[in-house]
């Protein structure tokens, strides 16, 4: 044994040993208790970061349960990660001076596919480096045909049961990403803007968005507002275009704010949209999907809203309609991905009715069928579920499964189409205007995107001909599913659930579902955990997991979340190469309170590396002593038992302390206090066993005292077992040297108190 433990010399070999032994392959064994965990699927194009390294917690649980004798399955996979991946890919394209609009959707899809394939393998290798005991034989990728088939069936089931519908709504649209988002994907930031007071004839209004006055359809005041009592039902005049609009009363208007009169612009503001609906007001848009002004005075037409604002206020000022302008700090929605302003725009989208799904997800948690740890997150979960709104599942991106809906062009001639013609030139227009000049095949082959009117008819199965007109010119919806629509069904699809006929689900599903633990970061509690709960209960009538374990978030030394854009990412793989995977893993759990932030510091990783070395050297001492004594023949060193002859007071004490440690660590793991569990083992091995007992034992080792060798070996092997879930590589390396049972520490039994 070398005097200093060198992780790089051992880790790869050890992982190969595990893989060769098939120890991580989940087995359906009716005699055993299943313990299953689904890995939160990393993005296929994402290099590993500290968040992935935190899968250590799941590995601890899996290894612990494997040693308890449960039938463990930890199922890995990776996600195509729709918008994330397309965003990264588009950045790459733009570096090459290209954009997505240079390609038809099929070509673009293939390009991204290849791009992702290059990175997918890397991810897998990295997780092996961290020692994760994942069942690679059950690895899944989110775009596998079988996974897609199931989610399409889910869509059809939802559709058939009236839980999915198309609706024309004000949606969160990012004109830079070119897609709508669900409300969860909108970030809110505080910004300094101005509140403009404008003359609307009979009254004055205050607005932060003067460029949208052209889309005004009313002015609303609070019904209780004495100031405006007499004006309700009268008219106001939109300046610049001198449009007459009604003055209405709505309690959503706050009396004290601005002038107390609110211009109603249903097409570009969510509150206004709701008010408009209540009063049956028309909806009129002045910003298009490219984020440019339309249906406005010539000077403003074609400008971006920001430019349009300046121009509009300039014109207003000239006409004396801009009364004053005061600074205002307010919150605005920005795209979580590109950080540009979100435009609420009116457009048809696909929605899932979430209320009925959420009702079951609420009840399941309330009844404790799924528990949430730490418990305080239960309230967060319930608050969200109880206030859930319909879920926009359509995205105007191409990287993802297309929604299985087909429109007949002959029945829906108003469909808007963007495509590349046979010369590669981008053509946009309404089908009825295009059909004279372009054959259907040309449109279909060069198709980039289509937008069907909200009332357009469609079918959800791919037919050769239209069921109503028998025509054969059908185009599939170009919107793709929100990534979470797919990953929300991950525990079902990866285990082989059959949506159409649950009875025909795979044996894996029947044995391993519901899974035992879902360990994840709180920031995807709604995105993912919530959706998995809804889908699991809706499709399989059973919760997807019995426990949601919310783990900590890794932050830098300033307490900031690590992200590529901030440039503060600490590379776990680099740390692994420098100090070993065990050291990194231990540093991520040691002394960490449940769900509190983890500050990663190289110092701490180094300290854990030192601990690994201590564990190694204890082994080196014991092995050296045994070899030197000439007792290496195991016949001569009796295996330990409490009533063996020659035990000293110190022997009995260390064994008693070992047993207390076993009890305590087991208890702490059961309660998910991994931080304390790690500390307890560390403390025992280093400061109790090494510093005290081993120092004491040296005298007796010299005298070749058989009992002391038994105790040393017994305490050491038990310690390796306790430490194994946390530091699997080094403990396995040592186990291979010391244990008579050479199979693997991975499948040895968790120590028990006699």
Partner RNA sequence: GGCCGAUUAGCUCAGUUGGUCAGAGCGUCCGGUUUACAUCCGGAAGGCCGGGGGUUCGAGACCCUCAUCGGCCACCA
In degrees and rounded to multiples of 5, residue 683 shows phi and psi of -60, -45
CA distance 180 to 169: 11
Q: Of the two residues 198 and 364, which places its CB atom closer to RNA in the complex?
A: 198
- Of the candidate spans 379-387, 404-412, 465-473, 746-754, the one that interacts with RNA by CB under 7 A turns out to be 379-387
Rounded CA Rg of the chain: 32
Segment holding 322, helix H or strand E: strand 322-335
Q: Return the residue of 150, 354, 392, 613 that touches RNA, per CB under 7 A.
A: 613
Q: Does 596 bind RNA (CB under 7 A)?
A: yes
Q: Of the two residues 347 and 607, which places its CB atom closer to RNA in the complex?
A: 607
CA distance 333 to 330: 10
DSSP states of 720-743 as a string? HHHHTTTSHHHHHHHHHHH-SS-S
Q: By CB under 7 A, what part of segment 515-554 binds RNA?
A: 523, 526
Q: By CB under 7 A, what part of segment 405-434 binds RNA?
A: none
Q: Does 387 bind RNA (CB under 7 A)?
A: yes
In degrees and rounded to multiples of 5, residue 461 shows phi and psi of -115, 150
Q: How far is the CB of 29 from RNA (least distance, A)?
A: 31
Q: Does 263 bind RNA (CB under 7 A)?
A: yes
Give the max Cα distance, the chain: 107
Q: By CB under 7 A, what part of segment 477-506 binds RNA?
A: none
Q: Does 355 bind RNA (CB under 7 A)?
A: no
Secondary structure string (H, E, C) spanning 484-526: HHHHCCHHHHHCCCCCCCHHHCCHHHHHHCCEEEEEEEHHHHH
CA distance 701 to 714: 15
Q: How far is the CB of 100 from RNA (least distance, A)?
A: 28
Q: Does 238 bind RNA (CB under 7 A)?
A: no
- Of the candidate spans 80-88, 111-119, 252-260, 420-428, the one that interacts with RNA by CB under 7 A turns out to be 252-260
CA distance 662 to 703: 30
- Of the candidate spans 65-73, 83-91, 540-548, 610-618, the one that interacts with RNA by CB under 7 A turns out to be 610-618
Q: Does 331 bind RNA (CB under 7 A)?
A: yes
- Of the candidate spans 63-71, 507-515, 601-609, 706-714, the one that interacts with RNA by CB under 7 A turns out to be 601-609
Q: Of the two residues 157 and 664, which places its CB atom closer to RNA in the complex?
A: 664
Q: Does 738 bind RNA (CB under 7 A)?
A: no
DSSP states of 198-261 as a string? EE-SSSEEEES-GGGGGG--EEEE-TT-GGGGGGTTSEEEETTTTEEEEEEE-TTS-SSSTTSE
Q: Return the residue of 8, 28, 252, 426 that touches RNA, per CB under 7 A.
A: 252
Q: Does 599 bind RNA (CB under 7 A)?
A: yes
Q: Return the residue of 106, 107, 202, 208 that touches RNA, per CB under 7 A.
A: 208
Q: Does 140 bind RNA (CB under 7 A)?
A: no
Q: Return the residue of 39, 61, 171, 206 that touches RNA, per CB under 7 A.
A: 206
Q: Does 382 bind RNA (CB under 7 A)?
A: no
- Of the candidate spans 648-656, 663-671, 733-741, 744-752, the one that interacts with RNA by CB under 7 A turns out to be 663-671
Q: Return the residue of 3, 233, 327, 567 that touches RNA, per CB under 7 A.
A: 3
Q: By CB under 7 A, what part of segment 559-578 binds RNA?
A: 559
In degrees and rounded to multiples of 5, residue 407 shows phi and psi of -105, 135
CA distance 378 to 423: 57
Q: Does 340 bind RNA (CB under 7 A)?
A: no
Q: Does 585 bind RNA (CB under 7 A)?
A: no
Q: Does 239 bind RNA (CB under 7 A)?
A: no
Q: Does 183 bind RNA (CB under 7 A)?
A: yes
DSSP states of 525-594 as a string? IIIIIIHHHHHHHHHHSS-SEEEEEEE--EE-TTSPBP-GGGT----HHHHHHHH-HHHHHHHHHTTPPT
Q: Does 745 bind RNA (CB under 7 A)?
A: no
- Of the candidate spans 49-57, 460-468, 607-615, 715-723, the one that interacts with RNA by CB under 7 A turns out to be 607-615
Q: Does 269 bind RNA (CB under 7 A)?
A: yes
Q: Return the residue of 63, 166, 614, 724 that touches RNA, per CB under 7 A.
A: 614
Q: Does 461 bind RNA (CB under 7 A)?
A: no
Would you give the DSSP letter of residue 749? P
- Of the candidate spans 18-26, 121-129, 349-357, 608-616, the one that interacts with RNA by CB under 7 A turns out to be 608-616
End-to-end CA, the chain: 32
Would you give the DSSP letter of residue 415? -
Q: Does 294 bind RNA (CB under 7 A)?
A: no
- Of the candidate spans 159-167, 205-213, 346-354, 534-542, the one that interacts with RNA by CB under 7 A turns out to be 205-213
Q: How far is the CB of 734 from RNA (least distance, A)?
A: 12
Rounded to 10 deg, the angle between the 56-68 and 649-670 helix axes is 120
- Of the candidate spans 308-316, 381-389, 409-417, 453-461, the one that interacts with RNA by CB under 7 A turns out to be 381-389
Q: Does 666 bind RNA (CB under 7 A)?
A: no
Rounded to 10 deg, the angle between the 674-682 and 581-589 helix axes is 120
Q: Does 115 bind RNA (CB under 7 A)?
A: no
- Cα distances from 436 to residues 125, 335, 361, 432, 443, in angstroms, run 54, 39, 51, 8, 12
- Cα distances from 27 to residues 23, 74, 527, 686, in angstroms, run 10, 11, 31, 37
Q: Return the residue of 278, 379, 422, 634 that touches RNA, per CB under 7 A.
A: 379
Q: Of the two residues 207 and 493, which places its CB atom closer to RNA in the complex?
A: 207
Q: Does 621 bind RNA (CB under 7 A)?
A: yes
Q: Does 591 bind RNA (CB under 7 A)?
A: yes
Please list the residues that pair with 350 across neighbouring strands. 166
Q: Return the residue of 386, 624, 699, 753 that touches RNA, per CB under 7 A.
A: 624
Q: Does 671 bind RNA (CB under 7 A)?
A: yes
Q: Does 270 bind RNA (CB under 7 A)?
A: yes
Q: How far is the CB of 160 from RNA (least distance, A)?
A: 29
In degrees and rounded to multiples of 5, residue 610 shows phi and psi of -60, -35
- Provide the 3-class DSSP secondary structure of residue 687: helix
DSSP states of 418-467 as a string? EEE-TTS-EEEEEHHHHTTTS-HHHHHHTEEEEE--TT---BSS--SS-T
Q: Return the residue of 278, 376, 566, 656 that touches RNA, per CB under 7 A.
A: 376
Q: Of the two residues 147 and 665, which places its CB atom closer to RNA in the complex?
A: 665
Asked if 377 and 431 touch (Cβ cutoff 8 Å), the reply is: no
Q: Does 659 bind RNA (CB under 7 A)?
A: no
Number of residues counted as binding RNA (CB under 7 A): 75
Q: How far is the CB of 201 from RNA (least distance, A)?
A: 17
Q: Return the residue of 310, 472, 601, 639 that touches RNA, per CB under 7 A.
A: 601
Q: How far is the CB of 328 from RNA (least distance, A)?
A: 7
Q: Does 33 bind RNA (CB under 7 A)?
A: no
Q: By CB under 7 A, what part of segment 673-732 binds RNA?
A: 673, 675-676, 679, 686-687, 690-691, 694-695, 698
Number of Cβ atoms within 10 Å of the Cβ of 598: 22
- Cα distances from 530 to residues 184, 372, 519, 645, in angstroms, run 12, 12, 13, 59
Q: Return the residue of 603, 635, 643, 740 that touches RNA, per CB under 7 A.
A: 603
- Cα distances from 126 to residues 47, 140, 554, 588, 597, in angstroms, run 8, 16, 18, 17, 23
Q: Does 209 bind RNA (CB under 7 A)?
A: yes
Q: Does 617 bind RNA (CB under 7 A)?
A: yes
């Amino acid at each position: 044994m070398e005097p200093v433990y060198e992780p790089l010399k051992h880790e790869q070999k050890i992982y190969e040993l595990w893989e060769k032994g098939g120890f991580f392959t989940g087995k359906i064994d009716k005699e055993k208790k299943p313990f299953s965990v689904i890995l939160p699927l990393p993005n296929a194009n994402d290099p590993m970061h500290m968040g992935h390294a935190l899968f250590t917690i799941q590995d601890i649980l899996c290894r612990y349960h494997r040693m308890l004798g449960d039938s463990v399955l930890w199922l890995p996979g990776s996600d195509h990660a729709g918008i994330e991946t397309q965003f990264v890919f588009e950045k790459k394209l733009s570096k090459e001076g290209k954009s997505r609009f240079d390609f038809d959707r099929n070509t673009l899809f293939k390009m991204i596919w290849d791009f992702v394939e290059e990175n997918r393998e890397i991810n897998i290798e990295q997780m092996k480096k961290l020692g994760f005991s994942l069942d690679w034989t059950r690895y899944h990728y989110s775009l596998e045909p079988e996974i897609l088939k199931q989610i399409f069936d889910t869509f059809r089931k939802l559709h058939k049961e009236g839980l999915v519908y198309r609706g024309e709504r004000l949606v969160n649209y990012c004109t830079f990403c070119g897609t709508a988002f669900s409300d969860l994907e909108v970030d809110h930031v505080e910004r300094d803007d101005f509140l403009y007071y404008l003359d609307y004839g009979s009254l004055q209004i205050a607005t932060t968005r003067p460029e949208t006055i052209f889309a005004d359809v009313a002015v609303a005041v609070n019904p209780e507002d004495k100031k405006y009592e007499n004006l309700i039902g009268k008219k106001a005049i939109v300046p610049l275009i001198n449009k007459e609009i009604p003055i209405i009363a709505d309690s959503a208007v706050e009396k004290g704010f601005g002038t107390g009169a609110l211009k109603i612009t249903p097409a570009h503001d969510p509150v206004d949209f709701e008010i408009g609906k209540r009063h049956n007001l028309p909806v009129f848009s002045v910003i298009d999907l490219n984020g440019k002004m339309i249906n406005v005075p010539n000077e403003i037409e074609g400008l971006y809203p920001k430019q349009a604002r300046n121009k509009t206020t300039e014109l207003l000022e000239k006409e004396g309609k801009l009364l004053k302008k005061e600074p205002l700090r307010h919150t605005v929605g920005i795209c979580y991905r590109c950080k540009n302003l979100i435009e609420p725009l009116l457009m048809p989208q696909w929605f899932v009715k979430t209320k009925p799904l959420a009702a079951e997800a609420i009840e399941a948690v309330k009844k404790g069928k799924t528990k949430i740890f730490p418990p305080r997150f239960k309230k967060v979960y319930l608050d969200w579920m109880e206030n859930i709104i319909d879920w926009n599942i359509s995205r105007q991106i191409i990287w993802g499964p297309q929604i299985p809906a087909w429109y007949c062009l002959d029945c829906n001639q108003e469909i808007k189409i963007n495509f590349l013609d046979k010369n590669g030139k981008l053509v946009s227009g309404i089908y009825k205007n295009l059909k004279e000049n372009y054959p259907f095949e040309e449109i279909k082959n060069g198709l980039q995107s289509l937008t069907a009117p909200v009332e357009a008819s469609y079918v959800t199965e791919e037919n050769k001909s239209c069921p109503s007109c028998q025509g054969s010119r059908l185009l599939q919806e170009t919107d793709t599913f929100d990534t979470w629509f797919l990953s929300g069904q991950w525990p079902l699809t990866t285990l082989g659930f059959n949506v159409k006929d649950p009875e025909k689900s795979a044996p894996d599903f029947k044995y391993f579902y519901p899974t035992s633990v879902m360990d994840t970061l709180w920031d995807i509690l709604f995105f993912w955990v919530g959706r998995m709960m809804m889908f699991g209960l809706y499709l399989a009538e059973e919760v997807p997991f019995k426990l949601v374990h919310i783990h900590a978030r890794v932050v830098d030394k300033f307490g900031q979340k690590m992200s590529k854009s901030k440039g503060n990412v600490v590379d776990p793989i680099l740390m692994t190469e420098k100090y070993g995977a065990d050291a990194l893993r231990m540093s991520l759990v040691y002394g960490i309170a449940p769900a509190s932030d983890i500050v990663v510091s190289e110092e701490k990783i180094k300290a854990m590396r030192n601990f690994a070395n201590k564990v190694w050297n204890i082994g080196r001492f014991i092995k050296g002593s045994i070899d030197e004594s000439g007792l290496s023949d195991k016949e001569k060193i009796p295996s330990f038992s409490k009533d063996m002859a020659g035990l000293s007071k110190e022997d009995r004490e260390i064994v008693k302390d070992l047993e207390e440690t076993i009890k305590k660590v087991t208890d702490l793991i059961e309660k998910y206090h991994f931080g304390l569990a790690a500390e307890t083992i560390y403390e025992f091995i280093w400061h109790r066993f090494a510093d005290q007992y081993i120092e004491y034992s040296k005298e007796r080792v010299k005298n070749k005292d058989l009992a002391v060798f038994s105790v040393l070996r017994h305490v050491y092997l038990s310690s390796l077992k306790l430490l194994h879930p946390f530091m699997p590589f080094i403990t396995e390396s040592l186990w291979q040297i010391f244990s008579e049972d050479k199979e693997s520490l991975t499948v040895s039994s968790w120590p028990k108190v006699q």
